[in-house]
Structure 1
Amino acid sequence: MNEHKTQNTGENKGTDTPNTPAPQGAGAPHARGGGDRRARRVRRPRVRSEFDNKILGIRRVTRVVAGGRRFSFSVTMVIGNGAGQVGVGIGKASDTALAIEKATRDAKKHLITVPLTDDLSIPHEVRAKYDAAQVLLIPTPGKGFKAGSAVRTVLELAGVKHVTAKILSRSKNHLNNARATVVALKKLKPALKRTDDSAKKKSETKNVSK
């Protein structure tokens, strides 16, 4: 009787085995796809912006309202590609990172193109004023770069390599000095390049007149 029972139980177990779930081994796929998620997480390389930027200043602004005081940040930003394009912008927000982002967008809206010479100087001397700030830019081909404060930042990001800049006013406001520099760069006119043919014609006319 006992043997007969054991045989029956063995037969029952054999019939029940197809319904039992298969064991999840090392090679079996995960039901939730945890390994697949890790494989999908691929870091995308950051695309470098064509513009370099530099923060001239960050100010904390306090505004008194009916409910009390509200604090915000004001950021002054200069951007440039080092090849003749430069811009100055301002961004205001309750968060510093957001203010920097707004300042960068504002600077891109106010981009100007500087007519650089072949030796990365400016075509001629120029003077400009913005509010209380006044600057003077003097071309110095082959003699290097002499400038300070916000004026230096604007000229460097614009790609000017040989120039002497002077702040003629007593203004220490970085924003005004930077904008005065931008106004001066706007006034620049491209240098006229004389071709070899025009030079020969002038020499020929001089010889004929003699």
Structure 2
Amino acid sequence: MAKTNKKKKNNRTKKEEAFQERVIQIRRVSKVVKGGKKLSFRAIVVVGNEKGKVGVGVGKAADVIGAVRKGVADGKKKLIDVSLTKANSIVHPTNGAAGGAKVMMRPAAPGTGVIAGGAVRTVLELAGVQNILAKQLGSNNPLNNARAAVDALETLRTFKDVARERDISLEQLFA
């Protein structure tokens, strides 16, 4: 009879430990049913690893903990990659929109910090951006502002991306 090794290495836990979660908003919502109103909770959660991956998720459940758990799972499904510079800023100015919310972002010099408010600040911090100027325009809804920030980060393109899209080398791009 061979000895079995009881210690199993689980690679999934290493990946999940790297992600941080921050709750932006928890709201009590109600649904009108035959017997009256059914109360539940909605949680808006931002998930990121501070190394260029970030996602925004929404979860609803009868209790707060369940809603947050569902929001984290939803956020992990919607992760995006963010291309950052060596100064931990974005590559170029960009805008994003979601619903009635608009977000404007500009790169900043090293040492500037994250100059942004509300949900946009949380998204940027969990994406790993350390030097940026951002402004919320239009709606102040936290969910739409977080989604607009993700939309703005999604539209970022590096010189490598542009060269690949045009099927030319980086040297030809600068010539």
Are 1:57 and 2:61 counterparts?
Answer: no
TM-score, normalising length from structure 1?
Answer: 0.68
Match of 2:106 among 134, 138, 149: 138
SS in structure 2 at match of 1:188: coil
Are 1:122 and 2:90 counterparts?
Answer: yes
- In structure 1, distance between residues paired with 2:42 and 2:36: 20
- In structure 1, distance between residues paired with 2:159 and 2:94: 13
The alpha-carbon deviation at position 144 of structure 1 amounts to: 2.6
- In structure 2, distance between residues paired with 1:62 and 1:168: 29
- In structure 2, distance between residues paired with 1:82 and 1:172: 24
How many residue pairs align between the two structures?
Answer: 152
- In structure 1, distance between residues paired with 2:115 and 2:63: 36
Which whole-Å deviations, capped at 9, do the CAs of 1:162-198 have from their partners, x for residues lacking one? 11001122x11000000000000000002449xxxx5
Contact 2:114 2:125 in 1 (8 A): no
Partner of 1:166: 135
Match of 2:45 among 35, 54, 77: 77
- In structure 1, distance between residues paired with 2:106 and 2:157: 14
- In structure 1, distance between residues paired with 2:129 and 2:90: 7
The alpha-carbon deviation at position 66 of structure 1 amounts to: 0.7
- In structure 1, distance between residues paired with 2:107 and 2:160: 15
- In structure 2, distance between residues paired with 1:192 and 1:145: 26
Are 1:101 and 2:54 counterparts?
Answer: no
Q: Which has the higher contact order (CA 8 A, sep 6+)?
A: 2
- In structure 1, distance between residues paired with 2:70 and 2:58: 7
TM-score, normalising length from structure 2?
Answer: 0.81
Match of 1:177 among 137, 140, 145: 145
Unaligned 5+ segments in structure 1 are 1-45, 203-210
The alpha-carbon deviation at position 63 of structure 1 amounts to: 1.3
Match of 2:122 among 153, 175, 182: 153
The residue type paired with residue 51 of structure 1 is F
SS in structure 2 at match of 1:166: strand
Identity over the aligned pairs, expressed in percent? 46
Note closer, same or farther for the CA distance 1:141–1:192 as it changes in structure 2 (3 Å cut).
Answer: farther
- In structure 1, distance between residues paired with 2:105 and 2:60: 30
Partner of 1:112: 80
- In structure 1, distance between residues paired with 2:100 and 2:49: 28
- In structure 2, distance between residues paired with 1:191 and 1:79: 27
User: Which structure carries more strand by proportion?
Assistant: 2
Contact 1:80 1:86 in 2 (8 A): yes
Contact 1:117 1:191 in 2 (8 A): no
| RMSD of equivalent CA atoms | 2.2
The alpha-carbon deviation at position 91 of structure 1 amounts to: 0.3
